[in-house]
């Protein structure tokens, strides 16, 4: 910057010509550099005049009884500088400059006193810098405000997932899901954590929520629900709870009749209950459905259509009949 200013000043000093001002018999002549400095001084003087004018107006309002006039004047200046710092912080964060973004966010926090805005940038900048302790501490601050509670919860969830703390991450995922059940990424994270903990009841509840909020097609929901019901039935059989396991196996078979493991487990339960007829019916239905799904017959090509012959009537066939009769008589 200093080099540019020095270069510009040198060019102005070497430039020929200048500015001449004549008024009421007075004449003032300025060189190129002097004219540039004069314009710059006038602009600075105008800016200072407007600032002093605003301060004077605020002071007059304060004298006339408006007790908050001066405070509003200074607050507007602080707010303007705060939003400028906030904007600079966002630009630095988008550019990947985490340290600069954090410094600008802290400056904006001092000027604006808006932690719901500045803490979010500080947390994101800390994540970009790899400063996970600062990120966690800042996300915890976001939990205090109901407007940013979900953001803070989801941020802590991501941090604990990176730490490998699945138990605490599961609790945070459940809390984030309760705050915003339509959030698709939270649904997916909660589903994976529940499946890793073999919480089949929770998994099926989350699947139902995904279906309800339109993030999962109905046919995919039925298939996955059947798989998790089957997993629940297997765990219950391993625990010796055969009756309860059989109910989940039958439910899985009803949800997806072509799912062979579910059909086998449901048939096994019926066989243990001396109900061989129902077991055979389930296995035959599953075999039939799998056979249909695996065969997928290809339709043969349509035959080429022949041009229809004109329909004969009595008048057209009469000469032919007379000819045949004559031949028979002969």
What number of other Cβ atoms are within 10 A of residue 80's Cβ? 11
pLDDT for res 250 = 92
Q: What is the mean pLDDT of the chain?
A: 78
The pTM score is 0.62
Tokens of 308: 């229809």
pLDDT for res 275 = 87
Residue 298's contacts (CB-CB under 8 Å, 6 or more residues apart) are none
- Whether 86 shows a pLDDT value over 50: the answer reads yes
C-alpha 280/C-alpha 186 separation (Å) is 42
Q: Is 102 helix (H, G, I), strand (E, B) or coil?
A: helix
**Residues 91, 110 contacting (CB under 8 angstroms):** no
Q: What angle do CA 266, 187, 125 make, to 5 degrees?
A: 150
What number of other Cβ atoms are within 10 A of residue 68's Cβ? 11
Tokens of 318: 């009469």
C-alpha 131/C-alpha 323 separation (Å) is 109
Residue bearing tokens 């966010």: 105
What is the 8-class DSSP label of residue 164? T
- Whether 262 shows a pLDDT value over 50: the answer reads yes
Q: Is 315 helix (H, G, I), strand (E, B) or coil?
A: helix
Q: pLDDT over 70 for what percent of the chain?
A: 71
In terms of C-beta density within 10 A (0-12 exposed, 13-18 middle, 19 or more buried), how is residue 203 classed? buried
Q: Is 174 helix (H, G, I), strand (E, B) or coil?
A: helix
**Residues 259, 285 contacting (CB under 8 angstroms):** no
In terms of C-beta density within 10 A (0-12 exposed, 13-18 middle, 19 or more buried), how is residue 148 classed? buried
Q: Which of 210, 211, 146 shows the shortest CA–CA distance to 179?
A: 146
Alpha-carbon distances of 323 from 186, 317, 319, 330, rounded to whole Å: 91, 10, 6, 11
- Whether 327 shows a pLDDT value over 60: the answer reads no
Mean pLDDT of 88-116: 82
In terms of C-beta density within 10 A (0-12 exposed, 13-18 middle, 19 or more buried), how is residue 259 classed? buried
Return the minimum-mean-pLDDT range out of 48-57, 102-111, 124-133, 224-233.
48-57
- Whether 121 shows a pLDDT value over 50: the answer reads yes
pLDDT tens profile 219-254: 999 999 999 999 999 999 999 999 999 999 999 999
pLDDT level of residue 27 (50, 70, 90 thresholds)? low
Beta strands in 62-128 (DSSP E): none
- Whether 30 shows a pLDDT value over 50: the answer reads yes
C-alpha 286/C-alpha 304 separation (Å) is 39
Domain ranges of the chain: 50-142
In this predicted model, which residue has the larger pLDDT, 326 or 221?
A: 221
């Amino acid at each position: 910057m200093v080099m540019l200013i020095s270069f510009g000043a040198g060019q102005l000093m070497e430039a020929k010509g200048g500015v001449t001002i004549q008024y009421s018999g007075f004449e003032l002549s300025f060189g190129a550099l002097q004219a540039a400095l004069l314009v710059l001084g006038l602009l600075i003087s105008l800016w200072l005049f407007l600032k002093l004018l605003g301060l004077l107006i605020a002071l007059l309002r304060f004298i006339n009884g408006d007790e908050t006039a001066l405070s509003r004047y200074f607050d507007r200046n602080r707010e303007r500088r705060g939003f400028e710092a906030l904007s600079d912080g966002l630009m630095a964060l988008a550019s990947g400059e985490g340290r600069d973004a954090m410094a600008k966010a802290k400056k904006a926090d001092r000027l604006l006193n808006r932690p719901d805005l500045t803490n979010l940038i500080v947390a994101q900048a800390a994540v970009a810098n790899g400063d996970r302790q600062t990120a966690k501490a800042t996300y915890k601050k976001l939990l205090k405000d109901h407007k940013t509670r979900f953001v803070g919860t989801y941020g802590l969830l991501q941090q604990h997932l990176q730490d490998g703390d699945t138990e605490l991450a599961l609790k945070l995922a459940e809390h984030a899901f309760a705050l915003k059940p339509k959030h698709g990424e939270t649904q997916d994270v909660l589903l994976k954590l529940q499946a890793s903990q073999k919480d089949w009841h929770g998994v099926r509840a989350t699947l139902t929520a995904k279906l309800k909020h339109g993030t999962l097609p109905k046919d995919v929901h039925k298939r996955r629900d059947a798989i998790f019901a089957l997993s629940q039935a297997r765990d219950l059989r391993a625990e010796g709870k055969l009756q309860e396991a059989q109910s989940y196996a039958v439910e899985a078979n009803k949800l997806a009749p072509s799912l062979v493991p579910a059909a086998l487990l449901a048939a096994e339960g019926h066989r243990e209950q001396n109900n061989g007829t129902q077991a055979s019916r389930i296995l035959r239905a599953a075999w039939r459905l799998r056979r249909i799904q695996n065969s997928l017959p290809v339709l043969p090509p349509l035959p080429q259509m022949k041009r229809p012959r004109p329909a004969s009537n009595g008048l057209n066939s009469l000469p032919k009949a007379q000819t045949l009769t004559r031949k028979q008589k002969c």
